[in-house]
Amino acid sequence: MKRDLPWRSATPDFYRVWLSEIMLQQTRVEAVIPYFESFLARFPDVHSLARAPESAVLAAWSGLGYYSRARNLHRGARQVAATGAPTGYEDLRALAGIGPYTAAAIASIAFDQPHAAVDGNVMRVVSRITGDTGEISSPITKARFTEAAQLLLDRGRPGDFNQAMMELGATVCVPRSPRCGECPVARFCDARATGRETELPVKLKKNASRDVPLDLALLRNGSEFFLIERAAGERRLAGFWELPPKNLFPRWRGRLAAQFTHQIVNDRFRISIFEGTAPKVLPAGKWLSPAELDAIPLTTVTRKALALAGTELKSRSKSQGNTTIKQVEV
């Protein structure tokens, strides 16, 4: 059941554990692995990360999404470089971007301290084992699940226990079709005993996705592409570069080269890429070569569009995430 993952080792390192836990927030393991490896190659320790400019950190994170994680990780690295490495849960909570779950996970895995780490996978396991019918997004229910996980915690091996619980939820006690026949704790599970394993945990229904059309212009000049920069005042994507919207060029006619969808929370972006010769008048932006593109932060949609255009920026670009792609024949 235990997966061989690059951040797991017999002697866990604080920096590697921290980086992995931040990257794994709301992101699949399969998507994280290539980013984790390339990020470590670029910033092998907390001090190299602290010294780096934010633009370089965002470039290394580009395509993984939820970019506030990268900004907070960078701020946290500078805190560590200035004040010294954390030694426990409270020190971790003082770092930028580290909440109760992440602090508990790092404290248990890197420092062997007895804190139960309760993420979505663990809450699902606890709900089924205890037969708790509380709505899983309720703060009261989350607090109850955390208390139950703390009581279950093996205080002699808290890091191993937390990782085992996470692994159980990720690989066996899965949301829709739990593999109860393979579960090592099935005999202790209330949901299994009462036939409610597919009914728990109780969840509110998600809002329906909203379709958002988005037409982008892919302008080439030899091997270079024209990109524009997000405004400095934007909260999440400030400083990121992207393909310009087609509506910036009302008289320009490009050919439809590709289409794909990209999901962000409840918004399903239906993206059309139009390619052609650049118009004479362009907005503020830059012509950038593939090598230059690799060194700057790109929005996920732009990275995927460039990959469709045959510009492979990094091996991790091959992972398309929550995207459905249709190449258009013309």
The residues with which 245 forms a beta bridge, in sequence order, are 216
Whether the per-residue pLDDT at 133 is higher than 90: the answer is: yes
144 and 222 part of one domain: no
187 and 222 part of one domain: no
Q: Is residue 2 part of a domain?
A: no
60 and 99 part of one domain: yes
Average pLDDT score over residue span 107-135: 97
Q: Is residue 204 part of a domain?
A: no
172 and 215 part of one domain: no
- Counting residues of the chain whose pLDDT is more than 70, the rounded percentage is 94
The Cα 248–Cα 278 span in angstroms is 12
pLDDT at position 320 is 40
Query: Strands, DSSP E only, in the chain?
Result: 210-221, 224-229, 241-242, 255-264, 267-277, 286-288, 323-327
Residue at a domain's end among 194, 227, 255:
194
* 76-103 residue pLDDT tens: 999 999 999 999 999 999 999 999 999 9
Whether the per-residue pLDDT at 131 is higher than 80: the answer is: yes
- CATH number, domain containing residue 289: 3.90.79.10
33 and 179 part of one domain: yes
79's CB contacts (< 8 A; 6+ apart) are 94, 95, 96
pTM of the model: 0.85
Backbone angles phi, psi at 218, to 5 degrees: -105, 100
Domain count along the chain: 2
> Which sequence positions are flagged as catalytic?
21
49 and 131 part of one domain: yes
* 235-274 residue pLDDT tens: 788 999 999 999 999 999 899 999 999 988 889 999 999 9
* 29-78 residue pLDDT tens: 999 999 999 999 999 999 999 999 999 999 999 999 999 999 999 999 99
89 and 189 part of one domain: yes
Q: Is residue 202 part of a domain?
A: no
What is the residue range of 28's domain? Answer: 14-194
